[in-house]
Amino acid sequence: MDREALAKLLWPDRFLAQAKASLRQCLLDLKRVLGKHDLDCLVITRSEIALNPQSTTSDLQDLETILSSECPERAVSSILEIGTRSLIQEPPLNSEIDEWLTKRRQHVDARLRARLSEAIRASSGATSEKLLEATRARFPTYRRFSQVVDQVTIALLPFAQIDTVGGNFFLADGIVDELSTRLAGINGIGLSGRTSVAALANKGLTLTEMASDLGVSHLIEGEVRRGEGGIDIRIALVSGQSGTEVWSDRLSGSIEDFFDGRKVIGSNVIGAICRALGMTPSPSPSRRMTGNREAYALYLQARAMVQKIGVDGAFAQGIEFLEQALEIDPEFAECWTALANAHIMTAAITPSLTRVEQSAEAARCARRAIELDPGQGHAFSILGIHEWTQFNPAGALEMAFEAYARDPNDADVCSRLGSCLLYLGKAREALPYVEEAVDRDPIYGRNYAMLTSAYLSLGKIDKALAAGQRLADLGTPALWLALAQFANGDNEAAMQTHYDVRSYLGSTVMRPPGMPPMDDGARDAYFAFAARGIYSGKEEDRAAYCRMLDGLHATMPDPYDSTIAFPAIWMGHSELVMKIYSARIHPANMFGLMSLWIDIDPINRTIRHPDFMDFAERIGMVEAWERFGWPDLMPGDPRTA
């Protein structure tokens, strides 16, 4: 530790000079006592104080050594012996030390959780199960999503609605919402992400085709009919392999019966589905839902609108519905989370000049959701995004881990934890979470962009090419496939792939906010120029495009837009990259940070720039690394090497 920082921690109520003098005397006394026992474990310089790692041992150090040596059987007994004990259990000396210890404990738990995840994934069979159970003894909320743990994987399809009465009818969406939340909380069930299910729902596929595309063993489908006599609901569990029904049931009653008795869905239906699958249902998760039907209807309508990515005005309409619902019931926790998500999605994927302000509003809504219901894991993940805009990556990663601990079966939560680790250059640690996000949401292109970037950062070019091609096959702009092709040495293919993205401009690829539309000729010329600048491999092409980006940065209404930031990273235009991200990180441009860590020229010129560590210090990355571990390409602080 830095001596001055330690002095302030130990004696926060004294002037700095007094605190330093007290530290000097303390160290003299400590060395004298240690000397009587022939212990030479202190390393003291004019600026720092440390313990000699060769002269000390600890249960944590022993466990990490065992995990590094790939001995999972020994790790099981070590984890069980440590149990839930905290790092350094002595009473704190003062509030400053207490706060510092809390952060160190969070650091250690985050690092340990990541190493245990790697060990579980690397092991198999009974050993994997024992290691998983031991890990849960340390982290009771720990969940893992692989075929070893999940007995079944399920996709919950939208229910058909047949209404002969008319008016505001929302029960079908409400039943799907209730089933989704309760199934997601059952150990042994992996639930497919809503984004992927929505992407396939209207494509006219057979049930077996949908199961294959989503990678699930079972599907749940249903139908809701409303007539003058009341409501009739059919729910069926279907085998994804054969398309045949494994279980089905019909429920009838009035709309009041179903709205006021949603717990019937949780107990009777979920219990029956679990029995059909040969499982024992775990306790149902608690929900802070609304008791007002109108607020609930608005909430469901809003969620449907926010799913319509790329539809003009959909997010704004969704936000309006959610705000109306909260006017009716201001204590509707899940509605606050949905509103936070709508704001963060607006900031991330629509042309906007107020992205940081929208992120702040999302954070305000997320905090309110957590106040009402601390189990809102998704809300914690949204707070993590906002922490990046405040140049606090360490806080962002804390929030992402907290979200995962509270709601590990949410595909968005898993994806955001993986992306946060990628932004910090920790691709090895991020990969399991990114792969889980892909498993949960296999039709969501953003997840494959993350997967491609993670593989590129780890030097796994063949896997990156496959992930990038899947991104293109889904009809998503294949910018990350172009990166993989470039890393593979195929410059011509990379240029063509990047040029082909031009057809998405104005739809999936948003126009820079405040900029007028381009005619087709200007658009094609720009994308051809950009493709050569990024991927031709010719320095003169790169330099010309760098100059253009400098001009755009000086003149565009949003000088930090991803249309400038992303290519600056990919071309290793270090000065512009550091200039952009030192001034503003917002939900639209932070996604490019994961590309910084691809160790090929010219992309790696930024992380090799002599000013990079100062830049990383300014935007908070160094603090995150010191707390959660250094990036894959930097085993330690290069400034002290």
Distances in whole angstroms, Cα of residue 641 to Cα of each of 194, 355, 617, 634: 47, 39, 17, 11
Query: Residue 365 phi/psi, 5° resolution?
Result: -65, -40
77-86, 385-394, 431-440: which is most confident: 385-394
Q: How does pLDDT run across 175-223, given as a tens digit for each residue?
A: 888 888 778 777 778 888 888 888 888 788 888 989 988 888 899 999 9
**Helix-then-strand count for the chain, H and E:** 30, 8
With a cut of 60, say whether residue 263 has pLDDT above it.
Answer: no
Per residue in 275-293, pLDDT (tens digit) is 888 877 665 555 567 878 8
Cβ atoms 342, 503 nearer than 8 A: no
Element (H, E) at 434: helix 427-440
| pLDDT of the residue at 127 | 76
Residue 147: pLDDT band (50, 70, 90) is: very low
Burial of 491 (0-12, 13-18, 19+ CB in 10 A): middle
- Rounded distance between C-alpha atoms, residue 295 and residue 324, angstroms: 7
Q: How far does the chain reach from its first CA to its final CA, in angstroms?
A: 16
| Structure confidence at residue 283 (pLDDT) | 55
Reply yes or no on whether the pLDDT at 351 is more than 70: yes
State the Cα–Cα distance between residues 467 and 474, nearest whole angstrom: 11
pLDDT digits (tens, 9 = 90+) for 570-599: 999 999 999 999 999 999 999 999 999 999
Q: Give the C-alpha separation, 131 to 338, whole Å.
A: 36
This prediction's pTM = 0.75
- Please report the pLDDT score of residue 70 as a whole number: 67
Element (H, E) at 566: helix 562-570
The confidence band for 260, taking pLDDT boundaries of 50, 70 and 90, is: low
pLDDT given for residue 114 in this prediction:
65
Distance in angstroms (rounded) separating the CA atoms of residues 576 and 584: 12
- Tell me, what's the pLDDT at 500? 94
Please check the confidence at residue 262 and state whether its pLDDT lies above 70.
no
pLDDT tens digits, one per residue of 522-559: 999 999 999 999 999 999 999 999 999 999 999 999 99
Cβ(414)–Cβ(404) under 8 Å? yes
- pLDDT category at 624 given cuts 50, 70, 90 is very high
Q: What is the chain's mean pLDDT, rounded?
A: 87
Of 277-291, 346-360, 493-507, the least confident: 277-291
Please check the confidence at residue 169 and state whether its pLDDT lies above 70: no
Tokens of 386: 């906002």
**Beta-carbon contacts of residue 311 (< 8 Å; ≥ 6 apart):** none
**Which domains, ranges and CATH numbers included, belong to the chain?**
3-55 (no CATH), 59-138 (no CATH), 152-283 (3.40.50.10610)
Residue 129: pLDDT over 90: no
Question: 508 pLDDT exceeds 90?
Answer: no
pLDDT-derived band at 264, boundaries 50, 70, 90: low
What mean pLDDT is predicted for residues 67-89? 79
Q: Please compute the mean of the pLDDT values over residues 505-509 and round it to a whole number.
A: 74
The letter for the amino acid at 490 is D
pLDDT beyond 70 at 641: no
Q: What is the pLDDT of residues 320-330, one digit of tens each?
A: 999 999 999 99
CA–CA distance, 581 with 32 (Å, rounded to integer): 49
Comparing 219-228, 253-262, 321-330, 367-376, the range with the smallest average pLDDT is: 253-262
pLDDT over 60 at 5, yes or no:
yes
Q: Which residue has the higher pLDDT, 636 or 168?
A: 636
Q: Would the pLDDT of 229 be above 70? A: yes
**Which comes out higher in pLDDT, residue 483 or 151?**
483
